A and B are shown apart, each in its own frame.
Chain A
Amino acid sequence: MGPFLETLIGGLMSGMLYSLVALGFVLIFKASGVFNFAQGAMVLFAALAMARFAEWFPALLGFDNKVLANVLAFVAAMAVMVAVAWLIERLVLSKLVNQEGITLLMATLGVTYFLDGFGQTLFGSEIYKIDIGLPKDPMFLFDKVFEGGLLVNKEDLYAAVIAAALVIALSAFFQYTSTGRALRAVADDHQAAQSIGIPLNRIWVIVWAVAGFVALVAGMIWGSKLGVQFSLSLVALKALPVVILGGLTSVPGAIIGGLVIGVGEKLSEVFIGPMLGGGIEIWFGYVLVLFVLLVRPQGLFGEKIIDRV
């Protein structure tokens, strides 16, 4: 029982981290109908910016305080992400208004490659550290009930809490603010939203900037865990099944999807993995989603698509 619960908790927390990345996808899709393949590249770009700024600012400005360095780096990285959002809107999105979803998907694929190359050109391609003070030591819970207690990683726990807070804040934003409503209108139909006076360009910059913010937070947390390196952009590929499982337009769906995939991956790796030779984590999420889609083609919480003739 003990190992099972440990794996379960570990899965829940890693699932929360997936949700964080998935949230970026859902935000952009909800607001602009664009499936942003570049979300992973944005996570990497943001993390690189933060890591390098945290190094450069103390050296440039001559101070030693780590907290100050981190705060300045965060602000600077956020500014960079806003600039990236603005550029993507200007150069890519505004030229592809009302094109089919597939075209926009391919365009974000192009943006992915571009950001990957550009980020490494600007910030370098080695492994960098982000240290925001998350405690890395393990905790042992419930050691009265289970012998030795359940091993829980403190860093993961903090990350999960931060992710949860962000998710709740964003859900509220979409549901209860007028900007949130405008975003949902835009996701439904670009031209219709434009025709009632919603400023498409500004909305898109806002959305991509918010997604950039989410990417930055995700990048910070993942970067603190794994170090900032190129493989971070592959985290997006891990988050895709989460997005699809939850349905592309549902913020709660992203959470539930993340938890399901996180737990499923860990449990399957521990209990089924040894029978199949191990390493099944890389495809478990995808195959699970495949079967779910066969039953519900729109994901667990997505909207049903009706074809009209």
Chain B
Amino acid sequence: MAEHSNPSTPERGSNKVILDVNNISLSFGGVKALTDISFNVREHEIRAIIGPNGAGKSSMLNCINGVYTPQQGSITFRGQTFSHMSPRQVAEMGVARTFQNLALFKGMNVIDNIMSGRNLKMKSNLFLQALRIGPAAREEAEHREFVEHIIDFLEIQAFRKTPVGRLPYGLQKRVDLGRALAMEPSVLLLDEPMAGMNVEEKQDMCRFVLEVNEEFATTIVLIEHDMSVVMDISDRVVVLDYGKKIGDGTPDEVRQNPEVISAYLGTSH
């Protein structure tokens, strides 16, 4: 996998905290998905969340996004604390995400899917859009240009007018990433971006993730199952198991944590 600078160098370790998860507890009816989870994310870092299936990783991202409202706890983003936010507020604060099961807009083509990510930035009202004059027309062209840069970056130019439902899985994942990038986020939540990919596709996706992090200075929170990816590209790791946090630190620290080892390899409980 790609080379990455030593995470314990001072530059990254001393960045300020951009996202703080405080004592989040989430349950659905009788099922406790998350119990008292706290961790922070520093600016510009790549933070991985790992854990066995069902550990509550996606639920954690959903809480950060405002899709689920936790019963207890709060989230602090850039110094402002919230116990409950709507997805739109989170999006306006600069948080974007991709989805484990894609959640692309199957009825639209690649360009329209990524353009939908520009939605927050498009301001012209209904009447101007209906007439397609002045600001409305300019907006469409300007944002289209931005989207084309993203398409170039993700190397999907040949597919821009294809309906996304017809694309192979790996390319759909890229479109999902493109849609999130279109929001120009300061924090990017990636939910298993490499799931179901072969080695080459994973290398491509890693390359994209690293470039986004280095060139656009985007903070990345990443759920991933592939341990080699996690160990190679992340700065710090949070480990969840059965909704509880069992590890938090650099990849090396976490790798040697006995609780983490037993969670993954299993011991007699």
Interface of A toward B, CB cutoff 8 Å: 306, 309
Contact = CB atoms under 8 A, between A and B. Distances in A.
Contacts of B99: 309
Interface SS of chain B: loop
Nearest to B99: A309
Contacts of A309: 58, 62, 67, 99-101, 103
Contacts of B101: 309
Closest 4 CB pairs of A and B: A309-B67, A309-B99, A309-B62, A309-B103
A306 B103 CA distance: 16
Q: How large is the interface on B (under 10, 10 to 19, 20 to 34, 35 or more residues)?
A: under 10
A306 B62 CA distance: 14
Interface string B39-79: 00000000000000000001000100001000000000000
Given A309-B58, A309-B67, 6 more contacts: A306-B28, A309-B62, A309-B99, A309-B100, A309-B101, A309-B103
A306 B99 CA distance: 17
Contacts, number: 8
Nearest to B65: A309
Interface in B78-105: 99-101, 103
Contacts of B67: 309
Interface of B: 28, 58, 62, 67, 99-101, 103
A306 B28 CA distance: 10
Contacts of A306: 28
A306 B33 CA distance: 15
A226 B223 CA distance: 65
8 contacts: A306-B28, A309-B58, A309-B62, A309-B67, A309-B99, A309-B100, A309-B101, A309-B103
A191 B101 CA distance: 19
Contacts of B28: 306
Nearest to B61: A309
A309 B104 CA distance: 11
A242 to B, nearest CB: 29
A309 B62 CA distance: 8
A103 to B, nearest CB: 14
Contacts of B62: 309
A40 B62 CA distance: 44
A84 B103 CA distance: 40
A309 to B, nearest CB: 6
A309 B57 CA distance: 12
A309 B65 CA distance: 12
A306 B67 CA distance: 12
Nearest to B101: A309
A280 to B, nearest CB: 36
Nearest to B68: A309
A54 B67 CA distance: 61
A134 to B, nearest CB: 48
A309 B100 CA distance: 8
Nearest to B67: A309
A247 B65 CA distance: 32
A151 B103 CA distance: 60
A261 B210 CA distance: 62
Contacts of B100: 309
A306 B29 CA distance: 12
B100 to A, nearest CB: 8
Nearest to B100: A309
A309 B67 CA distance: 9
Nearest to B58: A309
A309 B58 CA distance: 9
Nearest to A306: B28
Nearest to A307: B67
A72 to B, nearest CB: 53
Nearest to B103: A309
A10 B99 CA distance: 55
A306 B59 CA distance: 14
A306 to B, nearest CB: 8
Nearest to B191: A309
